[in-house]
Structure 1
Amino acid sequence: MDLHRPPRRPHAWWLLLAASQLLVAAIWWRYGWRIGLPAMMLSHLPFWWGVLRPQSRMYGPVLSRLPIAEPRVWLTIDDGPSDDTAAILDLLDAHRAKATFFLVGERAAARPALVREIARRGHGIGNHSASHPSAWFWILGPWRMRREIEQCQKTLTELSGTAPRWFRAVVGHANPFVSAPLRDLGLARAAWNARGFDAVRYDVDGVVAMIERDLAPGGIVLLHEGARHGRNVEMIAALLRRLDARGYSTVLPEEVAPEPR
């Protein structure tokens, strides 16, 4: 199985929606509103689940873990570049670790030297939207969604010299309009299976303990930089020490051999 899987049928969810609502209409006609109304509300739940659960494949493929048995994990760092980026790069070098930085287009344009430095040091660069509209990314319409993804892709490609291959939805909430621009740009969506809520929590030990609780071979670890609490560098340093202590190394998805067919 190829890990990098851009959506192939970005509009397939329309068929599911149409089929479900035809079924609801039939139930409503046969049994009336007392049963039809609850049936309609229940029929919408899978589509909302597809938006709110980062690992859901309702709207296209999403990578939530790497298919490896060795103690290696994919470190992913969202929301940069920021004042933290240079220190994080030095930490990664000190631990001989690699990570993918999911960058925000507008922040990258404001700090182009950091984008180039991330690439120079051999780390991955992923698309994390142009402006990071965290409060309303999940309800963006098709035109705004496309603009967010395409503009970020353009900015990061120009600055790094290489087009990103991976996309992470803002807050992980990928609505139905994410898949079409991902297909057109050859982007695959990445989620995670280990996180410590380091964007909002400021307890370093607590954040690392939460991540460690879910740590397993092939894990995708969600990290952040530039949070208001100012402790992301400490958190990443502490996590890297725990990885070393437990015998874990890091890996980028491009370094994982495809599974045999």
Structure 2
Amino acid sequence: MSAIRESRPSLHRVPRASSAWRWALLAAHAAVAVAWWQLGWRFGLPLLVATHLAFLWGALRPRSAMYGPVLSHLPIDDRRVWLTIDDGPSDDTRALLDLLDAHGAKATFFLVGERAAARPDLVREIVARGHGIGNHSHGHPQARFWSLGPARMRREITQCQDTLRAITGIAPRWFRAVVGHANPFVSPLLRECGLARVAWDARAYDAVRSNPAAVVARLERDLSPGAIVLLHEGARHGRNVEMIALLLQRLHALGYATVLPEELEDGA
């Protein structure tokens, strides 16, 4: 067992202190300045735009590691997947817990701090039933998370962390960025809180799409051993429980089980 633990790379990768992105930005702008000076604005301006688009793409692409490490797939070969459920707690939470219990499945709930503070009983129940919890920001600023400055980003990440720790006595280890976006101010706070960022490799936009069969069919196309499956609860269409029920049925039919990353770190 110890040999297995030693050979498996750590899944929980907290960002290290690094200024690589700053040096890259400075180098890119220096190249733009030289091009503008030597070749004129017709070359310099497009190069400037391309440089900024590259750094913006790093912020908006959920799997991008430009601003720090991100886990998007579990390194296993057998048919197990990690179910992650965002945006709770909600009116769906207890029904989802019953559903997961009925299928012998485990999931990690990425919780919004202010919603957790309003419904601490549900947060405690998630933990009591053997599921994981993760940090999904305090207020879920969906439209502008990617552009938050350092002070607001600090409030979003640390306040959620403090809220979940106060409710459960457990400090979350995983962070799911809002809409999967990041920027240079995320990694220092994750390092401070001991958090590792998690993305996904199977999604079906179940927070906005309301057809359970279509959602599950889309997810099924992206299933593979070690897939991190992105799910939601509490969507306005009110069908998340139905969707996850259908997904659990399909997982069983396809021979898939669920796993939490902590189990892999323990050598399971």
The amino acid of 1:99's aligned partner reads A
2:33 aligns to what? 25
1:163-186: CA deviation from partner (whole Å, max 9, x where unpaired): 000000001111111111001111
Task: Give yes or no for the alignment of 1:97 onto 2:101.
Answer: no
**1:28-67 alignment runs, 5 A limit:** 28-67=36-75
**1:135-214 alignment runs, 5 A limit:** 135-214=143-222
The amino acid of 2:125's aligned partner reads E
Q: Which moved more, 1:43-52 or 1:185-194?
A: 43-52
Runs of 5+ in structure 2 lacking a partner?
1-8
- 1: distance between equivalents of 2:250 and 2:177? 28
Task: Give yes or no for the alignment of 1:12 onto 2:20.
Answer: yes
1:226 aligns to what? 234
Task: Tell me how far 1:254 sits from its aligned partner.
Answer: 1.0
TM-score (ref. length: structure 2): 0.95
Task: Give yes or no for the alignment of 1:116 onto 2:128.
Answer: no
1:252 aligns to what? 260
1:131-171: CA deviation from partner (whole Å, max 9, x where unpaired): 00111111110110011000000000011110000000001
1:91 aligned counterpart, secondary structure: helix
Task: Give yes or no for the alignment of 1:88 onto 2:102.
Answer: no
Same amino acid, percent of matched pairs: 70
Aligned partner of 2:139 among 131, 135, 141: 131
1:195 aligned counterpart, secondary structure: coil
- 2: distance between equivalents of 1:113 and 1:126? 16
- 1: distance between equivalents of 2:85 and 2:265? 23
Task: Tell me how far 1:65 sits from its aligned partner.
Answer: 0.2
1:30-86: CA deviation from partner (whole Å, max 9, x where unpaired): 101110111111112221111111000000000000000000000000000000000
- 1: distance between equivalents of 2:50 and 2:145? 24
1:68 aligned counterpart, secondary structure: coil
Aligned residues: 259
1:230 aligned counterpart, secondary structure: coil
Runs of 5+ in structure 1 lacking a partner?
none
The amino acid of 2:189's aligned partner reads P
Contact 1:3 1:258 (8 Å CA) reproduced: no
Moved over 6 A (4+): none
- 1: distance between equivalents of 2:29 and 2:142? 30
1:239 aligns to what? 247
Task: Tell me how far 1:193 sits from its aligned partner.
Answer: 0.3
1:222 aligned counterpart, secondary structure: strand
1:74 aligns to what? 82
Contact 1:2 1:258 (8 Å CA) reproduced: no
